[in-house]
Amino acid sequence: MRFGVIVFPGSNCDEDAYYAAKDVFGQEAEYLWHKDTDLKGADVLILPGGFAHGDYLRTGAMARFSPIMGPVRAFAGRGGPVLGICNGFQILLESGLLPGAMLRNRGLKYRCEHVHLRVEQTDTPFTRVAHAGQVLRIPIGHGEGNYFAPVDTLKTIEANRQVVLRYTDPNGVVSDEWNPNGSVNAIAAVCNERRNVVGMMPHPERACEPLLGGVDGRVIFESVLSALTSGGSKGPALQMAGQ
Amino acid sequence: MIDPQILERHGLKPDEYDRIVGFLGREPNLTELGIFSVMWSEHCSYKSSRVHLKTLPTRGPQVLQGPGENAGAVDIGEGLAAVFKIESHNHPSFIEPYQGAATGVGGIIRDIFTMGARPIALLNSLRFGAFDAPGTRRLLEGVVAGIAGYGNSIGIPTVGGEIAFEPSYAGNPLVNVFCLGIAWQADIIKGVASGVGNAVYYVGAKTGRDGIHGATMASAEFDDKSAEKRPAVQVGDPFMEKLLLEACLEVMKTDALVGIQDMGAAGLTCSTTEMGSRGGAGIEIDTALVPQRETGMTPYEIMLSESQERMLLVVKRGREAEVERVFDKWDLHAVHIGEVTDNGLLRVKHHGTLVAEIPNRALTDEAPLYMRPMTEPEYLADVQKLDLDNLRGPERPALRDQNAALLAILGSPTVASKRWIYRQYDHMVRTNTINLPGLGAGVVRIKGTDRALAMSVDGNGRYCYLDPYRGAMLAVAEAARNVACCGARPLGATNCLNFGNPERPAIMWQFAKAVEGIGAACRALGVPITGGNVSLYNETDGKAIYPTPTIGVVGLLEHADRVVSRRFRDAGDAILLFGEGRGELGGSEYLKVAHDFVRGVPPALDLDAERALQDLLVRVADERLLRSAHDCSDGGIAVTLAECCFESGGIGAEVSIDGVRVAADARVNVAAALYGESASRVVVSVVTDAVTTVLERAAAANVPARVIGQTGGNRLRIAVAGQIAIDAAVDEAERVWSSAIEQAYAKRVA
């Protein structure tokens, strides 16, 4: 499997995503420079964390104009699996590939710590080997992760089962106390209607090795590997047009 | 015409001016005077400190680069080097906490990647006034946000640090920032200019009028006019620095560079003269070619600006296009502003007209050097007196009970959990952090190897105030001990020396004694000093800070997965104490919290015993015999044991320690046993089967060691000389410790 990791000039988790794909999971991985338009045959795309263009204006607001985003959009349109992590999630929101927007964290401070997440949906390429209700312990690191959507949009994405992960307590119960940033409906990850594009604020690439204090992020990578390999355990493997 | 007012504004003394005239053989013009004033400032020239710094040990088989370059470097095996340094940004952080701290981080990161190293970890050491004093929390909030804003954006994890609150820092907080990077030894690059005709390039942010005379500001005391100096503080742009970092590391791979240096203090002036001086060459530039953010800038302003995120490069002739291509990729403009010459001169032109011509050596090697007068401070004899039979100071009656005293110390801001601070820092980016903040020294693994590096910054201003020689030794010992507690062998050190006005003999005496202490400890513990920084004039309205040498120590773990942290791991493990408590209460957190005074002499330190202890820790960690290790420092063994229980999932402990006799009052003796801060002590836990082996190793290493209890239950119970002195629920104690700082902020908001 070949992972394509998009590199904006201010990306800073690009090497971490690349390392997870290549060194932890033994897959092929390519960096894809934001000024290029060639996806180099990637089977899955990751938009990594960071501060794409400094983000002085609004997180991700400029990145959507980078040349690489055209091919990313087309790839997503063909049903290809796309994962946005942290700043990558913010960019997918700004690009309109995912619904909603990000506000400054409640409390206005950057927060870096482990949080607990409940898996809400398992029919996305990034959660398909997880089980519904499973609680994952994965770190966050962001100042603008307070997910927001207008009431109508919120209704739609809840009705369409597009909320993929929610912040919870260690037992999987949603509560205000365990919501680290004030996200509406404790939303930590969403997908598009077609379910092949997923954005998440927590960093699964930071939780793939025991040495780093946890391996709950592995399920995100294992899911997409399963999705891209025919004969996966749950549901049909991804059908990608043009491949 | 240069008159006395102009000289005073430039911080130059009349005899220094005469020296300038002597070097030039004529009167300097204003641009030249400006250049001399920043290069001869305390901040750039180290004119008061150099004679003392020369006595520090800087060599060792592991040292690849000692002081004098942008950063030091030590050999960590497999062809790799750890490149690291600590630097202060005290004065700017007082004037503008967010930007002062942010640009401090930016500056130290540039020092590291300038050496050809990829920065992978940051630490910081902070000092503020009393936590409850007006202004402290606002300053702390601003400094932490500034460090976070810069480090998080650029993507370098802040993996640890330390902080203390004392009234002496109220008008003069300390912000010391440490950065560590990794480089292939063969790729280390230096800040030299050589090769006549090679091109001098300017890269990065445009030059503005910000920060002009920042180095001179950092070499003067504060008074009530200091707020007016705000324009001298620069504004940081971490995104620009990220571009510079990536572009410079990419250019370095091309082999087209001769040398590179960042423009930090004294900007273009310092980088051109230092690079020329190190390479035995000269540099000629035209300031009109320098990219400028504002119109109408004079050569004086351009040479002295401290605008951030700028680099100076010397490129091999014929390789210019290659270098420009890389910077182009990162949307940066590399501008050819001059050439290397062989005349040893700094020559500055403006639109082709010569505006300054100064021999490099006059600005660097021949800068003034002072052996300033020193006398022992008058306060010392009095504050060293500590009569434990007659404890003065308003004892807090509620603390007569030892449980209450322990909770009070755990809730004191210097001891309490720093989670409110470190969770604002991205401490996990780069996916190398294997010891999270708050668990001991910061530890990062090195990808592609089995190895990891541990690093710790430590200092104790209170101890140094009471005895600068011993206080400085204790700082080195604690930093190295923290590294050894993780199982890492200490390899090298960097120092940041924060003191008052060196023109006062008492301050100079503190400085000299502290440097002596650092030297003695570094020699004994095998950690040479590879670089650092001196920050003097830390005074406001004539009141100096506690003398505060901050020491950063870096150590190597050959097997990352053998890292040890402070937390107990399981019930039923044996708890051992390495070292011996002597009930030393001088300068202790206990006296501060319970009696609100700072008195006595700091704990004694036997450097041979300390070395033996650290060697033992490294050995038994490598043999995987330790389940946890935590040193005894602020608050003594009682606080250490409590911290071993915290964040462990609520594991308690049942412990019995020896009594001490330091006073007639039995209660004082119990307090001394619990909270005394005797050095060279570490609490470890081991599985019961391993106790015999660990005791054998300790005996062989000549380190006193004995079993003092075992883990288990949900209470921390400590008996002193057979009598239960502490009996506290772990969860309750942990709540006090973990929420003290957060609650203080929550209260303010409410």
Q: Are A3 and A44 in contact (CB under 8 A)?
A: yes
* A–B CB contacts, 8 A cutoff, strictly below: 85
Q: Is the dihedral of CA A77, A81, A82, A86 positive or negative?
A: positive
Q: Active-site residue numbers of B?
A: 43, 89
The string of pLDDT tens digits covering residues B110-125 is 999 999 999 999 999 9
SS (H, E, C) B241-306: HHHHHHHHHHHHCCCCEEEEEECCCCHHHHHHHHHHHHCCCEEEEEHHHCCECCCCCCHHHHHHCC
Query: Chain B partners of A211 at a C-beta cutoff of 8 Å?
Result: 434, 445, 560-561
Active site residue A86: yes
Beta bridge pairs of residue B312: B202, B261
* pLDDT confidence of residue A234: 45
Is residue A19 less than 8 Å (CB to CB) from chain B? yes
Q: At what angle do helices B238-252 and B320-329 cross, to 10 degrees?
A: 140
Mean predicted confidence (pLDDT) in A65-92: 96
* pLDDT confidence of residue B750: 40
For residue B312, pLDDT beyond 60? yes
Mean predicted confidence (pLDDT) in B274-301: 94
Rg over CA atoms, chain A = 16
For residue A230, pLDDT beyond 90? no
* pLDDT confidence of residue A107: 87
Give the global pTM.
0.95
The one-letter amino acid code at A98 reads: L
Sheet holding B529-535, edge to edge: B433-435, B442-445, B452-458, B548-557, B489-498, B529-535
Q: How far is CA B539 from CA B35, B45, B94, in A?
A: 25, 20, 11
What is d(CA A230, CA A233) in angstroms, rounded to the nearest whole number? 9
The string of pLDDT tens digits covering residues B339-359 is 999 999 999 999 999 999 999
What is d(CA B620, CA A8) in angstroms, rounded to the nearest whole number? 45
The string of pLDDT tens digits covering residues B471-528 is 999 999 999 999 999 999 999 999 999 999 999 999 999 999 999 999 999 999 999 9
Mean predicted confidence (pLDDT) in B101-105: 95
- The full set of domains in chain A, from first to last, is 2-237 (3.40.50.880)
For residue A242, pLDDT beyond 60? no
The average confidence (pLDDT) of chain B is: 94
Nearest Cα to Cα of residue A180 among A198, A170, A168, A191 = A168
* pLDDT confidence of residue B211: 73
Sheet holding B715-720, edge to edge: B628-631, B682-686, B574-578, B705-711, B653-657, B715-720, B723-729
Mean predicted confidence (pLDDT) in B244-270: 93
The string of pLDDT tens digits covering residues B594-645 is 888 899 999 999 999 999 999 999 999 999 999 999 999 999 999 999 999 9
Which of B419, B431, B564 would best serve as a mutation to test chain A binding (most A beta carbons within 10 A)? B431
3-class secondary structure, A45: strand
Better-predicted residue by pLDDT, B430 or B223: B430
* pLDDT confidence of residue B395: 64
The tokens for B531 are: 């670089």
Confidence tier at A236 by pLDDT (50, 70, 90): very low
Q: Is the dihedral of CA B341, B314, B233, B226 positive or negative?
A: negative
Mean predicted confidence (pLDDT) in A182-196: 98
* pLDDT confidence of residue A66: 92
Q: How far is CA A124 from CA A89, A163, A198, B58, in A?
A: 15, 11, 8, 58
The string of pLDDT tens digits covering residues A135-173 is 999 999 999 999 999 999 999 999 999 999 999 999 999
For residue B224, pLDDT beyond 70? no
Chain A closest CA to B685's CA: distance in Å? 20
* pLDDT confidence of residue A238: 59
Chain B closest CA to A124's CA: distance in Å? 25
Confidence tier at B130 by pLDDT (50, 70, 90): very high
Q: Are B580 and B657 in contact (CB under 8 A)?
A: no
The string of pLDDT tens digits covering residues B565-597 is 999 999 999 999 999 999 999 999 999 998 888
DSSP single-letter state for residue A197: E
Tally of CB atoms within 10 A around B490: 26
* pLDDT confidence of residue B540: 87
* pLDDT confidence of residue A241: 45
Q: Which conformational region is residue A55 in: left (phi greater than 0), alpha (psi within -120 to 50 degrees), or beta? A: left
* pLDDT confidence of residue B748: 57
The string of pLDDT tens digits covering residues A39-51 is 999 999 999 999 9
For residue B74, pLDDT beyond 60? yes
* pLDDT confidence of residue B72: 97
Among candidates B243, B423, B431 on the partner chain, residue whose Cβ is nearest the Cβ of A16 = B431
For residue B222, pLDDT beyond 70? no
Give the H/E segment covering residue B101: helix B97-113
Residues in contact with B503: Cβ distance below 8 Å, sequence separation at least 6, in sequence order = B48, B372
What is d(CA A199, CA A163) in angstroms, rounded to the nearest whole number? 10
Confidence tier at B430 by pLDDT (50, 70, 90): very high
Interface of A with B in 160-219 (CB under 8 A): 203, 205-206, 208-209, 211-213
Confidence tier at B228 by pLDDT (50, 70, 90): low
What percent of chain B lies above the pLDDT cut of 90? 86
* pLDDT confidence of residue B232: 63
Is residue A65 less than 8 Å (CB to CB) from chain B? no
ipTM of the complex: 0.94
